[in-house]
Amino acid sequence: MKRSTIIPALLLVYLGVMCYIGRQQFYDGHYLFYFGIIAATLLVIFLLRLTLLKRERDRDKNR
């Protein structure tokens, strides 16, 4: 499997675990904080995936 698939997938699993651990913030009514952190993390994972795909594509072109 490619690195551009494995790393974001592992980070999504990690995010799921962290969402479960931080669910008390949600129950306390801090919805913007809870979902804001999730959205920011998803954005970073998505940007990481795009960067890894570009690096793999460039590496394949140079071969």
pLDDT in the model for residue 1: 83
The pLDDT profile of the chain, 63 residues, written as one tens digit per residue, is 889 999 999 999 999 999 999 999 999 999 999 999 999 999 999 999 999 999 999 999 998
pLDDT in the model for residue 20: 97
Q: Could you tell me the end-to-end alpha-carbon distance of the chain, in angstroms, rounded to an integer?
A: 19
d(CA 9, CA 27): 27
Give the predicted TM-score (pTM) of the model. 0.88
pLDDT in the model for residue 63: 83
Other beta carbons less than 10 A from residue 41's beta carbon: 16
pLDDT in the model for residue 5: 94
Which residue in 60, 44, 43, 45 sits closest to 2, CA to CA?
A: 60
d(CA 27, CA 51): 35
- Identity of the residue numbered 7: I
